[in-house]
Amino acid sequence: MSITLPNYISGEYAVGTECFTVVDDTRTEVLGPGVGPRKIAVRMYYPINRESVKDTKKAEIFTERKLKALGKAYFVNPKKIPSEMLVADYYEGVAHVENRKFPLIIYNHGYNAYVECNTFLCCELASNGYIVASVGHAYEAIVNEYEDGTYDLYDKKINKMMYDSVIKTVLAQSKLLKAKGTPEELFEKFDMFQQKYCKYIIERIPEWAKDTTCVVDELKTRYAEWIDFSKGIGATGHSMGGATAYYLCHHEAEFVCGVNVDGGIFGNYEGMIMKKPFLQICSTDNYNVVTRALFNTEAPVRCEIFENLKHIGFTDAKFMIPLKMVVGKMDANEMYDRLSNVHLEFFDKYLTC
């Protein structure tokens, strides 16, 4: 399959990347074998001077292990993934811009996704003057790889813990997504659905938030000379990661604005008022599970609906999976351009001004 990738480095900077591991000794892992402290994988994307990498080889996105795991999860033959998708427009372990600090954006992937699932978006943000930390959630991503050479795979036991009855959940979800009403009425229907069928997911949102704040704490030491924390931190993410962004904006003072990309807003927010600017991005299919973001707010809120796009089509998978029934009919480059532009417009307004 031949594809045309977007020119996704539009800013004045080239992009550097590096990976590291955060260990949270305050939490014992409950997934996988259920032993040891919780580990979090992180990939950083950061601005670099273009002149500094003129003769430098670009970095590969996937290790062989990650590519194999990705193929299994997406039912794609790794050998048929376009070669253009395997090498990113970024450079491994190169020098940061000297004497300059940049604002921080945290990205969280979706359930059973992976740290690099929105590489194009993260690179575009970095090229425009942001440092982006993509957070990998142990046993809840397709695969996470750590600095010490260890790795973990998605814990398949989660599938049984997630739903009491798959058939009943699917039927209830189908009815929910077809419902009509005001944002408030649709949220009431969604809340009834999540409280009955999605208690496990509700419980995991605070844990993902803890993963994120652990990463922020590490960055305050590791990246102190390059990150400007003076105006707060931005959050974005896809699916479960977007729901985590919403949670962070409610519960963590340092997070001053957030974006949810097509994630059902799971969680308990009764009586709570959003006080941070928020951008809700969603497909037409999933509008009914995101309406919580559109009311009970004292801050600016914006909703961008992407027609002809399926849930997984908001990620780089749009360039890897040819099946329109999986990723939607929207052109991949059109999706990417719009997704990047609304992110940049939002963060430029609320994180840098």
Per-residue pLDDT tens digits for 229-271: 999 999 999 999 999 999 999 999 999 999 999 999 999 999 9
Model pTM? 0.95
Q: What is the distance in angstroms between the CA of the first residue and the CA of the last residue of the chain?
A: 43
Confidence (pLDDT) at 76: 84
Dist. CA 129–CA 139, nearest whole Å: 32
Q: What is the percent of the chain with per-residue pLDDT over 90, rounded to a whole number?
A: 84
- Summarised one tens digit per residue, pLDDT across range 178-226 is 999 999 999 999 999 999 999 999 999 999 999 999 999 999 999 999 9
pLDDT at 4 over 70: no
- At residue 8 the predicted structure's pLDDT band, cuts being 50, 70 and 90, is low
Using an 8 Å Cβ cutoff, are 58 and 92 in contact?
no
pLDDT class for 9, splitting at 50, 70, 90?
confident
pLDDT of residue 165: 79
How many residues make up the chain in this entry? 353
The Cβ-side half-sphere exposure at 246, using a 13 Å CA radius, reads 32
Which is higher by pLDDT, 127 or 352? 127
- The confidence score (pLDDT) of residue 38 equals 97
Four-point Cα dihedral 14, 143, 30, 191, nearest 10: 70
The pLDDT mean for the chain works out to 93
Digit-coded pLDDT (tens) for 26-36: 999 999 999 99
What was the pLDDT predicted at 353? 75
* Residue 74 pLDDT grade (very low, low, confident, very high; cuts 50, 70, 90): confident
| Average pLDDT rounded to a whole number, residues 285-311 | 97
User: What percentage of the chain exceeds 70 in pLDDT?
Assistant: 98
pLDDT at 100 over 80: yes
Give residue 284's pLDDT band: very low, low, confident or very high (50, 70, 90): very high
Residue 1 in this model has a pLDDT that exceeds 70: no
Distance, CA of 271 to CA of 273 (rounded, Å): 7
Q: Which domains does the chain have, with CATH numbers?
A: 14-350 (3.40.50.1820)
Alpha helices in the chain (DSSP H): 64-74, 119-127, 157-162, 166-177, 183-197, 199-222, 240-251, 324-327, 332-350
Q: With beta carbons less than 8 A apart as the criterion, state whether 24 and 37 touch.
A: yes
**27 phi and psi angles, rounded to 5 deg:** -125, 130
